[in-house]
Structure 1
Amino acid sequence: MKKRKIPMRKSVVSGEMFPKKELLRIARSKEGVVSIDPTGKAPGRGAYLAIEPKEAQAAWDKKVFDRVLETKIPDAFYQELLDYVTHQKARKELFANE
């Protein structure tokens, strides 16, 4: 059986390459609306972040997505992102044992 290729993406905070499924996509639409894209399929420009609370906090401190997505992003979005990443990490650890 042929081995499938695993798509890789780079985290904009750490610069490390990860399999696409292990990253969270942040998308900016043509209208300039920035949102968390858990499916990875929303239209628009995307940037990837590892599902680590430390990386989300570093992105907030350095305003990484403001620069990468070329738009002004409010602190409320970064707080939502940090909460989402913390929750996803906890879920991943909880269900890893099964």
Structure 2
Amino acid sequence: MKTRKIPMRKCVACQEMKAKKELTRIVRSPEGEVSVDSTGKKSGRGAYLCHELVCVEQAKKKKILETHLKSKIPADLYEQLEKGSHTS
């Protein structure tokens, strides 16, 4: 039986390569709306972020998501990411 290749993505905050399922995708739709993509299949420009609270805080502080998505990020999106993250 063939082993399946695991898709890897890079966290925009810590720059670590991780399995796609271990990261959260934030997407800017063609209409300009920024949201969390839980399915990983929404169309638009995407950026991946670890589930670590440190990475979420770093992305917020340095405006990393705004840079990658070329769009303003709403504050409630960061709150949503912080609730879903792990402390370490």
Tell me, yes or no, whether TM beats 0.5. Answer: yes
Question: Sequence identity of aligned pairs in percent?
Answer: 51
Q: In structure 1, what is the Cα distance between the partners aligned to 2:75 and 2:4?
A: 39
Please, which runs of 5 or more residues in structure 1 have no aligned partner?
A: 91-98
Instruction: State TM-score, norm by structure 1.
Output: 0.81
Give the aligned CA root-mean-square deviation in angstroms: 1.4
Mapped to 2, the partners of 1:29 and 1:3 lie a distance apart of 33
Q: When the two structures are aligned, how many residues end up with a matched partner? A: 87
Structure 1 partner of 2:80? 80
Match of 1:60, SS? helix
Q: Specify the code of the residue in structure 1 equivalent to 2:72.
A: K
Larger relative contact order (CA 8 Å, sep ≥ 6): 2
Which residue pairs with 1:62 in the alignment?
A: 62
TM-score (structure 2 length as normaliser):
0.90
Return 5+ residue gaps in structure 2 as ranges.
none
The structure number with the bigger radius of gyration is 1
More helix by share: 1
Deviations 1:47-91 (A, max 9, x none): 001111111111111111110000111323222221232xxx48x
